[in-house]
Protein backbone atom coordinates (compact mmCIF):
# COMPACT_ATOMS: atom_id res chain seq x y z
CA UNK A 1 0.00 0.00 0.00
CA UNK A 2 1.42 3.40 -1.04
CA UNK A 3 0.63 6.53 0.96
CA UNK A 4 0.55 9.94 -0.64
CA UNK A 5 2.99 12.45 0.82
CA UNK A 6 1.49 14.30 3.76
CA UNK A 7 -1.28 11.77 4.51
CA UNK A 8 -1.68 9.81 7.76
CA UNK A 9 -1.69 5.98 7.94
CA UNK A 10 -5.19 4.48 8.31
CA UNK A 11 -6.43 4.50 11.91
CA UNK A 12 -4.24 7.40 13.01
CA UNK A 13 -6.62 10.21 12.07
CA UNK A 14 -7.80 12.34 15.00
CA UNK A 15 -11.54 11.65 15.53
CA UNK A 16 -13.92 14.63 15.76
CA UNK A 17 -14.22 16.07 19.26
CA UNK A 18 -10.84 14.71 20.38
CA UNK A 19 -8.11 17.20 21.22
CA UNK A 20 -5.04 17.56 23.41
CA UNK A 21 -5.54 19.51 26.66
CA UNK A 22 -2.49 21.12 28.30
CA UNK A 23 -2.67 22.48 31.86
CA UNK A 24 0.26 24.32 33.46
CA UNK A 25 1.41 22.91 36.79
CA UNK A 26 0.57 26.29 38.34
CA UNK A 27 -3.07 25.60 37.53
CA UNK A 28 -3.14 22.36 39.56
CA UNK A 29 -4.56 22.61 43.07
CA UNK A 30 -2.01 20.90 45.32
CA UNK A 31 -3.33 18.78 48.18
CA UNK A 32 -1.76 17.08 51.19
CA UNK A 33 -2.05 13.30 51.41
CA UNK A 34 -4.85 12.16 53.74
CA UNK A 35 -4.59 8.77 55.43
CA UNK A 36 -7.56 6.79 56.68
CA UNK A 37 -5.02 4.58 58.46
CA UNK A 38 -2.15 6.86 59.34
CA UNK A 39 0.86 6.36 57.02
CA UNK A 40 -0.47 2.97 55.85
CA UNK A 41 -3.72 3.33 53.84
CA UNK A 42 -4.17 6.59 51.89
CA UNK A 43 -7.56 8.14 51.25
CA UNK A 44 -8.46 8.69 47.60
CA UNK A 45 -6.23 5.88 46.39
CA UNK A 46 -6.17 2.14 45.74
CA UNK A 47 -4.39 -0.05 48.31
CA UNK A 48 -3.79 -3.80 48.20
CA UNK A 49 -3.66 -6.41 50.98
CA UNK A 50 -2.08 -9.55 49.48
CA UNK A 51 -1.23 -12.82 51.24
CA UNK A 52 -1.66 -16.60 51.28
CA UNK A 53 -4.99 -18.31 51.84
CA UNK A 54 -6.28 -18.71 55.37
CA UNK A 55 -4.28 -16.04 57.21
CA UNK A 56 -7.13 -13.67 58.01
CA UNK A 57 -7.14 -11.15 55.15
CA UNK A 58 -10.93 -10.92 55.26
CA UNK A 59 -10.87 -10.57 59.06
CA UNK A 60 -8.40 -7.71 58.58
CA UNK A 61 -10.84 -6.10 56.13
CA UNK A 62 -13.65 -6.46 58.69
CA UNK A 63 -11.40 -4.95 61.36
CA UNK A 64 -10.71 -1.97 59.08
CA UNK A 65 -14.43 -1.59 58.37
CA UNK A 66 -15.22 -1.61 62.09
CA UNK A 67 -12.57 1.01 62.82
CA UNK A 68 -13.85 3.33 60.07
CA UNK A 69 -17.53 3.01 61.03
CA UNK A 70 -16.65 3.78 64.65
CA UNK A 71 -14.15 6.55 63.88
CA UNK A 72 -11.42 4.81 65.90
CA UNK A 73 -8.76 4.27 63.23
CA UNK A 74 -5.71 6.54 63.66
CA UNK A 75 -5.76 8.91 60.71
CA UNK A 76 -7.84 11.58 58.99
CA UNK A 77 -11.15 9.98 59.97
CA UNK A 78 -10.36 9.50 63.66
CA UNK A 79 -13.34 10.73 65.65
CA UNK A 80 -15.37 10.96 62.43
CA UNK A 81 -17.31 7.71 61.82
CA UNK A 82 -17.92 7.09 58.13
CA UNK A 83 -19.88 4.47 56.15
CA UNK A 84 -18.15 1.55 54.44
CA UNK A 85 -19.06 -0.30 51.23
CA UNK A 86 -18.02 -3.96 51.26
CA UNK A 87 -18.08 -6.09 48.09
CA UNK A 88 -17.47 -9.75 48.94
CA UNK A 89 -17.81 -12.61 46.47
CA UNK A 90 -16.10 -15.60 48.08
CA UNK A 91 -17.90 -15.69 51.43
CA UNK A 92 -21.56 -15.84 52.45
CA UNK A 93 -22.85 -12.61 53.92
CA UNK A 94 -25.29 -14.40 56.22
CA UNK A 95 -22.86 -17.01 57.54
CA UNK A 96 -19.49 -15.26 57.33
CA UNK A 97 -19.18 -11.59 56.36
CA UNK A 98 -21.92 -10.06 58.55
CA UNK A 99 -20.99 -12.21 61.59
CA UNK A 100 -17.32 -11.23 61.21
CA UNK A 101 -18.28 -7.56 61.01
CA UNK A 102 -20.39 -7.97 64.16
CA UNK A 103 -17.53 -9.71 65.98
CA UNK A 104 -15.18 -6.88 64.95
CA UNK A 105 -17.57 -4.35 66.50
CA UNK A 106 -18.59 -2.63 63.26
CA UNK A 107 -21.65 -0.40 63.09
CA UNK A 108 -23.73 -2.75 60.91
CA UNK A 109 -26.10 0.08 59.97
CA UNK A 110 -23.29 1.83 58.09
CA UNK A 111 -21.61 -1.13 56.36
CA UNK A 112 -23.24 -1.69 52.97
CA UNK A 113 -23.14 -4.85 50.86
CA UNK A 114 -22.41 -3.88 47.24
CA UNK A 115 -24.42 -5.64 44.53
CA UNK A 116 -25.68 -4.75 41.06
CA UNK A 117 -29.27 -5.20 39.87
CA UNK A 118 -29.48 -5.91 36.14
CA UNK A 119 -33.12 -6.17 35.06
CA UNK A 120 -34.06 -7.93 38.28
CA UNK A 121 -30.99 -10.20 38.31
CA UNK A 122 -28.60 -9.50 41.20
CA UNK A 123 -24.90 -9.87 40.47
CA UNK A 124 -21.57 -8.57 41.75
CA UNK A 125 -19.68 -5.41 40.86
CA UNK A 126 -17.92 -5.36 37.49
CA UNK A 127 -14.94 -3.08 36.88
CA UNK A 128 -14.62 -0.75 35.10
CA UNK A 129 -18.31 -0.79 34.11
CA UNK A 130 -19.67 0.07 37.57
CA UNK A 131 -17.03 2.66 38.57
CA UNK A 132 -19.17 5.68 37.72
CA UNK A 133 -22.29 4.47 39.55
CA UNK A 134 -20.17 3.32 42.49
CA UNK A 135 -18.60 6.77 42.74
CA UNK A 136 -22.05 8.37 42.84
CA UNK A 137 -23.09 6.15 45.78
CA UNK A 138 -19.84 6.90 47.61
CA UNK A 139 -20.35 10.66 47.27
CA UNK A 140 -24.05 10.51 48.16
CA UNK A 141 -23.42 8.58 51.40
CA UNK A 142 -20.06 10.08 52.39
CA UNK A 143 -18.37 6.65 52.28
CA UNK A 144 -14.85 6.58 53.70
CA UNK A 145 -13.77 3.07 52.68
CA UNK A 146 -14.56 0.66 49.84
CA UNK A 147 -13.44 -2.96 50.34
CA UNK A 148 -13.19 -5.35 47.38
CA UNK A 149 -12.85 -8.91 48.72
CA UNK A 150 -11.12 -10.06 46.58
CA UNK A 151 -10.30 -7.37 44.02
CA UNK A 152 -9.73 -9.98 41.31
CA UNK A 153 -13.39 -11.07 41.40
CA UNK A 154 -14.57 -7.55 40.59
CA UNK A 155 -12.59 -7.35 37.34
CA UNK A 156 -14.77 -7.69 34.22
CA UNK A 157 -14.88 -11.17 32.70
CA UNK A 158 -13.58 -9.94 29.34
CA UNK A 159 -10.33 -8.59 30.86
CA UNK A 160 -7.27 -10.81 31.01
CA UNK A 161 -5.87 -10.08 34.47
CA UNK A 162 -2.46 -11.43 33.44
CA UNK A 163 -2.04 -8.77 30.74
CA UNK A 164 -0.81 -5.46 32.10
CA UNK A 165 -2.50 -3.23 29.54
CA UNK A 166 -5.88 -4.96 29.80
CA UNK A 167 -5.90 -4.98 33.60
CA UNK A 168 -5.14 -1.26 33.71
CA UNK A 169 -8.40 -0.68 31.82
CA UNK A 170 -10.20 -1.78 35.00
CA UNK A 171 -7.83 -0.53 37.70
CA UNK A 172 -7.09 2.98 36.43
CA UNK A 173 -10.78 4.05 36.31
CA UNK A 174 -11.11 2.65 39.85
CA UNK A 175 -8.11 4.71 40.96
CA UNK A 176 -9.54 7.84 39.31
CA UNK A 177 -12.88 7.28 41.03
CA UNK A 178 -11.09 6.98 44.39
CA UNK A 179 -9.17 10.20 43.74
CA UNK A 180 -12.33 12.07 42.72
CA UNK A 181 -14.37 10.96 45.75
CA UNK A 182 -11.59 10.90 48.35
CA UNK A 183 -12.63 7.38 49.33
CA UNK A 184 -9.97 4.84 50.25
CA UNK A 185 -10.23 1.64 48.18
CA UNK A 186 -8.75 -1.53 49.69
CA UNK A 187 -8.57 -4.65 47.53
CA UNK A 188 -7.65 -8.07 48.90
CA UNK A 189 -5.36 -10.20 46.74
CA UNK A 190 -3.84 -13.68 46.80
CA UNK A 191 -0.23 -14.79 46.52
CA UNK A 192 0.68 -17.18 43.72
CA UNK A 193 2.64 -20.42 44.22
CA UNK A 194 6.04 -18.87 43.50
CA UNK A 195 8.82 -18.77 46.07
CA UNK A 196 10.04 -15.20 46.49
CA UNK A 197 10.80 -12.95 49.44
CA UNK A 198 9.28 -9.98 47.58
CA UNK A 199 5.52 -9.70 48.25
CA UNK A 200 5.01 -7.58 45.14
CA UNK A 201 6.29 -10.41 42.94
CA UNK A 202 3.87 -12.90 44.50
CA UNK A 203 0.57 -11.12 43.78
CA UNK A 204 -1.54 -13.28 41.49
CA UNK A 205 -2.06 -11.70 38.06
CA UNK A 206 -0.35 -8.90 36.19
CA UNK A 207 2.15 -6.53 37.78
CA UNK A 208 -0.45 -3.84 37.12
CA UNK A 209 -2.08 -4.79 40.45
CA UNK A 210 0.93 -3.60 42.44
CA UNK A 211 1.82 -0.83 39.95
CA UNK A 212 -1.53 0.98 40.08
CA UNK A 213 -1.93 0.55 43.85
CA UNK A 214 -0.35 3.38 45.83
CA UNK A 215 0.08 1.25 48.96
CA UNK A 216 0.53 -2.49 49.53
CA UNK A 217 0.17 -4.05 52.99
CA UNK A 218 1.44 -7.62 52.72
CA UNK A 219 0.46 -10.24 55.30
CA UNK A 220 2.06 -13.55 56.22
CA UNK A 221 1.87 -16.13 59.00
CA UNK A 222 4.85 -16.21 61.33
CA UNK A 223 5.58 -19.93 61.61
CA UNK A 224 8.03 -19.28 64.42
CA UNK A 225 5.29 -17.74 66.56
CA UNK A 226 3.90 -19.92 69.35
CA UNK A 227 0.32 -18.68 68.93
CA UNK A 228 0.08 -18.71 65.12
CA UNK A 229 0.37 -14.93 64.88
CA UNK A 230 0.50 -13.16 61.52
CA UNK A 231 2.42 -10.07 60.44
CA UNK A 232 1.43 -7.00 58.41
CA UNK A 233 4.27 -5.17 56.65
CA UNK A 234 4.26 -2.17 54.33
CA UNK A 235 5.54 -3.59 51.02
CA UNK A 236 4.85 -0.43 48.99
CA UNK A 237 4.03 3.16 49.93
CA UNK A 238 4.19 5.67 47.08
CA UNK A 239 2.65 8.44 49.16
CA UNK A 240 4.48 8.02 52.45
CA UNK A 241 7.19 6.24 54.44
CA UNK A 242 8.09 2.65 53.64
CA UNK A 243 10.11 2.03 56.82
CA UNK A 244 7.04 1.63 59.02
CA UNK A 245 7.14 -0.91 61.84
CA UNK A 246 5.38 -4.18 61.07
CA UNK A 247 2.30 -5.09 63.08
CA UNK A 248 1.38 -8.45 64.58
CA UNK A 249 -2.11 -9.88 64.80
CA UNK A 250 -3.82 -13.13 65.59
CA UNK A 251 -7.24 -14.57 64.80
CA UNK A 252 -9.20 -15.72 67.82
CA UNK A 253 -12.65 -17.23 68.17
CA UNK A 254 -15.53 -14.95 69.13
CA UNK A 255 -19.18 -15.74 69.90
CA UNK A 256 -21.97 -13.64 68.43
CA UNK A 257 -25.75 -13.84 68.60
CA UNK A 258 -27.68 -14.68 65.42
CA UNK A 259 -31.37 -15.28 64.67
CA UNK A 260 -30.54 -19.00 64.87
CA UNK A 261 -28.69 -18.76 68.18
CA UNK A 262 -25.01 -18.31 69.13
CA UNK A 263 -22.35 -18.66 66.41
CA UNK A 264 -18.55 -18.82 66.52
CA UNK A 265 -16.55 -16.65 64.09
CA UNK A 266 -12.97 -15.49 63.74
CA UNK A 267 -12.02 -12.04 65.03
CA UNK A 268 -8.77 -10.21 64.39
CA UNK A 269 -6.88 -8.95 67.43
CA UNK A 270 -4.02 -6.49 66.91
CA UNK A 271 -0.92 -7.25 68.98
CA UNK A 272 1.09 -4.09 68.31
CA UNK A 273 4.45 -3.59 66.67
CA UNK A 274 6.77 -6.49 65.90
CA UNK A 275 10.31 -6.73 64.62
CA UNK A 276 9.29 -9.60 62.36
CA UNK A 277 8.42 -8.61 58.78
CA UNK A 278 6.75 -10.31 55.84
CA UNK A 279 9.83 -10.23 53.61
CA UNK A 280 11.88 -12.17 56.18
CA UNK A 281 9.04 -14.65 56.73
CA UNK A 282 8.72 -15.30 52.99
CA UNK A 283 12.49 -15.74 52.73
CA UNK A 284 12.39 -18.30 55.55
CA UNK A 285 9.57 -20.23 53.90
CA UNK A 286 11.67 -20.86 50.82
CA UNK A 287 14.97 -21.25 52.68
CA UNK A 288 17.34 -24.00 51.58
CA UNK A 289 19.20 -26.32 54.02
CA UNK A 290 22.30 -24.12 53.86
CA UNK A 291 20.29 -21.07 54.94
CA UNK A 292 18.77 -23.03 57.84
CA UNK A 293 22.26 -24.06 58.91
CA UNK A 294 23.34 -20.41 58.92
CA UNK A 295 20.35 -19.56 61.09
CA UNK A 296 21.21 -22.33 63.56
CA UNK A 297 24.79 -21.06 63.80
CA UNK A 298 23.52 -17.50 64.30
CA UNK A 299 21.19 -18.71 67.08
CA UNK A 300 24.11 -20.32 68.87
CA UNK A 301 26.22 -17.19 68.50
CA UNK A 302 23.37 -15.06 69.84
CA UNK A 303 22.86 -17.20 72.94
CA UNK A 304 26.58 -17.16 73.71
CA UNK A 305 26.79 -13.41 73.24
CA UNK A 306 23.88 -12.67 75.58
CA UNK A 307 25.11 -15.10 78.23
CA UNK A 308 28.47 -13.30 78.19
CA UNK A 309 26.70 -9.93 78.55
CA UNK A 310 24.41 -10.72 81.46
CA UNK A 311 21.48 -12.07 79.46
CA UNK A 312 20.40 -8.94 77.57
CA UNK A 313 21.68 -6.16 75.34
CA UNK A 314 20.65 -3.39 72.97
CA UNK A 315 19.64 -4.74 69.55
CA UNK A 316 21.83 -2.23 67.69
CA UNK A 317 24.95 -3.28 69.63
CA UNK A 318 24.23 -6.98 69.15
CA UNK A 319 23.72 -6.53 65.41
CA UNK A 320 26.99 -4.59 65.16
CA UNK A 321 28.87 -7.33 67.01
CA UNK A 322 27.31 -10.04 64.84
CA UNK A 323 28.24 -8.18 61.68
CA UNK A 324 31.85 -8.03 62.87
CA UNK A 325 31.75 -11.84 63.16
CA UNK A 326 30.35 -12.23 59.64
CA UNK A 327 26.67 -12.76 60.54
CA UNK A 328 24.19 -10.79 58.46
CA UNK A 329 21.52 -8.75 60.25
CA UNK A 330 18.67 -10.57 58.47
CA UNK A 331 20.09 -13.97 59.46
CA UNK A 332 20.52 -12.84 63.07
CA UNK A 333 16.92 -11.59 63.30
CA UNK A 334 15.61 -14.86 61.88
CA UNK A 335 17.61 -16.73 64.52
CA UNK A 336 16.07 -14.95 67.52
CA UNK A 337 13.11 -17.30 67.91
CA UNK A 338 15.33 -20.38 67.71
CA UNK A 339 17.65 -18.87 70.30
CA UNK A 340 14.78 -18.10 72.69
CA UNK A 341 15.14 -14.34 72.60
CA UNK A 342 12.51 -11.91 73.88
CA UNK A 343 12.30 -8.41 72.39
CA UNK A 344 11.18 -5.35 74.31
CA UNK A 345 11.00 -1.79 73.04
CA UNK A 346 12.58 1.15 74.89
CA UNK A 347 11.45 4.75 74.61
CA UNK A 348 10.88 6.47 71.29
CA UNK A 349 14.02 6.44 69.14
CA UNK A 350 15.99 4.29 71.59
CA UNK A 351 15.61 0.98 69.74
CA UNK A 352 14.87 -2.35 71.40
CA UNK A 353 16.48 -4.75 73.88
CA UNK A 354 16.99 -8.46 73.24
CA UNK A 355 16.89 -10.69 76.29
CA UNK A 356 17.68 -14.37 76.71
CA UNK A 357 14.95 -16.47 78.31
CA UNK A 358 17.09 -18.40 80.75
CATH number of 32-278: 3.40.50.300
Instruction: State the span(s) of the chain assigned CATH 1.10.10.10.
Output: 287-356
**How confident is the chain (358 residues) per 10-residue block, as mean pLDDT?**
56 79 93 96 98 95 98 98 96 95 98 94 94 97 97 94 94 97 98 88 94 97 84 97 96 94 95 92 70 77 84 88 85 80 70 78
Q: Which CATH number is correct for 287-356, 2.40.30.10, 1.10.10.10, 3.30.300.20, 3.30.1050.10?
A: 1.10.10.10
Instruction: State the span(s) of the chain assigned CATH 3.40.50.300.
Output: 32-278
| Tens of pLDDT, residues 176-216 | 999 999 999 999 999 988 878 899 999 999 999 999 999 99
Q: Rounded to an integer, what distance in angstroms lies between the CA atom of residue 251 and that of residue 265?
A: 10
69 in Cβ contact with 82 (< 8 Å): yes
Q: Look at strands 246-258 and 261-274 and give their pairing.
A: antiparallel
Supply the pLDDT for residue 299. 84
> 10 Å Cβ neighbour count for 107?
17
| Tens of pLDDT, residues 60-85 | 999 999 999 999 999 999 999 999 99
36 in Cβ contact with 77 (< 8 Å): yes
Amino acid sequence: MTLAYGTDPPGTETPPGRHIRLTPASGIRMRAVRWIWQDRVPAGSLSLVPGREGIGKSQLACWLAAQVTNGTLPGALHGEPRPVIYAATEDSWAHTVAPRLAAAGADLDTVYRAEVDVDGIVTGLTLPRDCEALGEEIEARGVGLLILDPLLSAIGAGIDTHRDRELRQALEPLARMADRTGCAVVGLAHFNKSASPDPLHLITGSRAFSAVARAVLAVARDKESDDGACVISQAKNNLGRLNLPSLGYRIESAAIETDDGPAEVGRLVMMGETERNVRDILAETGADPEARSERDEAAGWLRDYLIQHGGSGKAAEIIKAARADGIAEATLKRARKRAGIATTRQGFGQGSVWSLDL
